[in-house]
Chain A
Amino acid sequence: MRGTFMLLATLLLSLPLLAQAEPAKPETKPADAKPAESKPADSAKTAVAADAKSTAKWVAIKGATIHTVSGPVLLDATILLKDTKIADVGRDISIPADAEVIDGRGKHVCPGFVAIAAKGPLGLRNSSGKEKAEHRFDPYADFMVLALANGITSAHESGGMADFGGLFGFSGSAFTGSHTGVVGGTVGKLTHGTVEGFALREPAALYLNSPVQGGGGAIAEQRDLFERAKKHRAARKAWLKELAGGKKDAAEPKTDDVCVALADAMDGDLPVFYYADNRRHIEHALGLAAEFDVPVVLHTAQEAWTVAAEVGRHARGVVLLPRGLGVRGTRPYTDLNVSAPHGWRIDTPAIMQRTGVPWAVLTLNTGISTTLLGGRDLMGLHLEAAFAVRGGATDAEALRAITLTPAEFLQVADRIGSLEPGKDADLLLMDREPLDYRAFVEKAWVNGRVAYDEDVTPLYGHIQTDRRQAPRKWKPWGIWGDLPDQKEAPPLPDGSQPPPVR
């Protein structure tokens, strides 16, 4: 009796849920949003199906300026998230009744930033190097929180590349890849608080250093690697053909990991980052890329502007530091013994943009620093991109350079980098446009889950600007006790009144 009553109650309870869920379908149906088939006779199944439907989590950010990156900037638009994915983006979207609706008016939504060649945000712990990254990352790492607070939702950490951060956060030699290649690294998500949905790609890429500085021996060694990879690729192709032809005992061609990786890269299955900052190195890399048909990404390609057209023809793209690689105080460096065009230029990203070369942005310090200088490390990725705009790139391309372009370079653009239906729900709600130096991330979603909320994490929420209010009492240092109240906002020098203090 009691059991029957429970069943009835469950059915009755699930009815209104069904009624609600039905009109909740967005107009453009995501593939997995089809109404579950239900047979009235099988009441238990219906209840389960209804239950499953009702657990789908919908989040809608309404009325925001949405920077889709892959498409136009949409004003007064809505983005709809379903569980871990983006269900829809647009100006005229029906929002399911049970969706959590966030008022985005006056705010900006953009894809989470993608940090290329980063050090720290994934919270990876050292290990023997054998374990997969998803088994050795710390989902509560401070660095991950700091990166999220500054908009990074995915990062590429490399085995082959070192962080650039010296004492002052300026890039120095960088890139500890080898001219004979290193395979490794991880592309992962900053899934703060959970290990679910972390991995995007591992190993992340093949890293090559320019052999030019090393001289003839090194050049020959690298060339040999390319030749071997080409041979291996051909042998592998033949072997696969034999297998397909029914010759099951055909011997698989064997070679070393780097060679396999380069063959994979030739097939377009693995990204290749080739460190080449000056023109000689770039030209050498382009020569190999053209001859062996390898889609290389030129890393820290400072002088790419000197051979922009060739870069456009033979490279997949470039990774740039808009503020230049030069040692502090000396940039733009000029070598008086060199008369050919050389050195750093502020308009390199703009030249790349005009030439049609995809470019991604790297910070001067690719780590995270809480004690050194501000605005030079990964906590300022969007600020670094803004410097590209100073050189003539457009805002849209600069935003792309920290979202979709690095995702494309890392070959994970099917998942992340832009706001499109079907892509992962990795996005930011910001209080200003993403490249504004005063912009803060209010919320960051990773896989549809709020991974950072400035009201919860006490990093920036107290900072008072004309758009934000701050608490009056600060307690920066426990032993000092209470500081005097933050003063009543004095008039600003220009006579205007500052924002009210909460």
Chain B
Amino acid sequence: MFKQILLLTLVSCMPLLAQVGPVALEQEGCFAITGGQVFPMNGPAIDAGIVLVKDGKIEAVGAAGVLAVPAGYRVIDASGHRVIPGFIDLHNHTGASDLHDIVYQVNPELRVLDNIEMNSAEMRIACAGGVTTLLSIPGSGTNMGGFGVIIKTFGDKPDEVVVRFPGALKIAQAGNPERGNGDLGSGRMGMNWMIRNVLLEGKAYHDAWTAFEAGKGEAPAKDARYEYLRGLFRGEYPCAVHTQIFQVVQSTLRMLARDLKLKIVIDHGEFDGFINAPLAVELGVPAACGPRIFWLSPNDGHFYGLAASWYWLGVSSDRIGVNTDSPVVPQEELPFQAAMAIRHGLPEGVALKGLTINAAKMLQIDKRVGSLEAGKDADIVLWSGDPFDPRSKVRITMVNGKVAYDAARDGQRF
């Protein structure tokens, strides 16, 4: 009897032992994504590449023959998949944004930093759609909505998700912020005066403080209204400018980029705004197009792809991006926005970079995200195929080295 029990115990333990062995050795936070076609975005695609992830960062990227999988790394088999950096949305209103607070017509004192909602339904949607970084900015109800924040779409605490604050200053010209009845802001003249005026005030404030910091003069009075504008003049972050239509974009470029020498990103850039491409080229200004995708010219009856037109009229391929303006286009459709841009003439390679490394460059966060390089954040998405093909789906989304979405675990959402 005793022998029988001993035997039974031994037999039943054996499979356990066999299972426990390697599991015990697996290191927390260490992943090896193997077998997929890796698109590092800083070089050509690697067939059957390996991406090693450790402690939230990318440890190494290489071909299977060159790079070995260290012991204890959890292997994610990406055979038949594309391994692509998580996508970056350059213009979003769901991550941390109340759309409007109309304190004044221009509100450089407002910020969305305090509204971040981690793991909200919207953020889970973003993860399931392969979007890992957002520039979440205020709406365009005023000419200056306030300061946006760049966040990751997965994480438990605000500090964990914030990539940078301020992410960008939201400026909106014409259209949405227009007032009526002859009030200030009923026309472009008044709206542009307000934008220019507050920026000039901010510039004066910045210059006074810069002088003081260099040891000249008295300390100026602190003014919270202008404090965040200082980083703008130091070039630490850009203005995301809601601008579209030929003459409005022209004023954006001349007033903000040329005269005030601000770093700006043309957000939307829709309708016939792309006619300004030569000026944008001259000033080195990038364009993040969307949510509209094309413009039907009344002159020649062509559908002009917007991103494509900025591109083909000379804007350098690393200064072209696409956005959703989520929730205007649902967040998970960021790659579909790019698909539509491609359909209307944007080269696929430009689109892929525009959602990854070039978007990161436009937001000046390319040291952290946008490509699969050692030392960068492990924001990695496994796609079943061409990410722009509506028929392809996301299998796994990793944000900061954590599996934020796994179709097998969570059920396929999109």
Contacts and interface: CB of A to CB of B under 8 A. Distances in A.
Interface in A76-116: none
B367 to A, nearest CB: 19
Interface in B247-303: 272, 275, 278, 291-297, 299-303
A493 interface: yes
B312 A486 contact: yes
A31 interface: no
B304 A476 contact: yes
Interface stretch (B101-109, B190-198, B322-330): B322-330
A4 interface: no
A498 interface: yes
Contacts of B342: 437-438, 465
Contacts, number: 148
Contacts of A483: 275, 278, 313
Contact of A492 (B291, B313, B347): B347
A118 interface: no
Contacts of A387: 390-391
A328 B327 contact: yes
- B interface bracket (residues with beta carbon within 8 Å of A): 35 or more
B45 interface: yes
A30 interface: no
Contacts of A390: 390-393, 414
A372 B292 CA distance: 6
Interface in B329-379: 329-331, 336, 339-340, 342-345, 347-350, 352-353
A484 B314 contact: yes
B79 interface: no
B305 interface: yes
A383 B390 CA distance: 7
A330 B390 CA distance: 19
A43 B336 CA distance: 65
B390 to A, nearest CB: 4
Given A346-B414, A437-B339, A492-B350, A459 B301 contact: yes
Contact of A391 (B305, B328, B412): B412
Interface residues of A, number: 53
Given A346-B414, A373-B293, A460-B303, A494 B330 contact: no
B324 to A, nearest CB: 10
A470 B275 contact: no
A493 B354 CA distance: 10
Interface string A369-400: 01111110000000100110111000100000
Contacts of A492: 317, 347-350
A464 B312 contact: yes
Contacts of B327: 328-329
B389 interface: yes
Given A477-B297, A486-B312, A329 B317 contact: no
Given A372-B292, A486-B313, A168 B328 contact: yes
5 contacts: A346-B413, A437-B339, A459-B302, A474-B309, A492-B317
Given A346-B414, A375-B339, A484-B314, 4 more contacts: A328-B327, A346-B412, A435-B391, A437-B388
